[in-house]
Amino acid sequence: QLQLQESGPGLVKPSETLSLTCTVSGGSISSSNYYWGWIRQPPGMGLEWIGSIYYSGSTYYNPSLKSRVTISVDTSKNQFSLKLISVTAADTAVYYCARRGSTIFGVVVRYWFDPWGQGTLVTVSS
């Protein structure tokens, strides 16, 4: 059974860099049909997609965060990582990693996020 687990510091100072890693177990991050993504949820609020990466290193990001985000992959460790620079209090959130899968319906491909990691709370505060 595929499982994802986030890890990293729970407290980051304003203007510094948030760094998180997602470790994938029970399956290979190099599976050809899947992308791997980061999604965040500020306390008491909704969900925001941050970006996704393929095992080859191909990435795509939410334009609202693109200037500050880098997602990378380490296939040897079955991990992918998130870096968010110049953080402020507005970046305080639970950060989730998730697999982006796809299903083919005839000639149409539909995408979904499943499974998700348990999430890790990152607080930006001095």
Does 111 help bind another protein (rule: CB under 8 A)?
A: yes
Tell me: does residue 116 bind another protein (CB under 8 A).
Answer: yes
Q: Are 12 and 123 in contact (CB under 8 A)?
A: yes
Closest to another protein by CB, 54 vs 60, is 60
Q: Does residue number 123 form part of the binding site for another protein (CB under 8 A)? A: no
Sheet of 18-25, strands arranged across? 3-7, 18-25, 79-84, 69-74
Candidate segments 20-28, 71-79, 80-88, 98-106, binder of another protein by CB under 8 A: 98-106
Q: Which listed range, 9-17, 68-76, 83-91, 96-104, lies at the site for another protein (CB under 8 A)?
A: 96-104
The answer to whether residues 90 and 41 touch, using CB atoms and an 8 Å cutoff, is: no
Q: Rule CB under 8 A: which of 37-66 touch another protein?
A: 46-49, 60, 62-64
Bridge partners, residue 70, by sequence: 83
- Neighbour count for residue 105 (Cβ, 10 Å): 7
Q: Would you state the structure tokens that stand for residue 62, as one six-digit string? A: 């939410």
Give contact residues for another protein (rule: CB under 8 A): 46-49, 60, 62-64, 96, 98, 103, 105, 108, 110-119
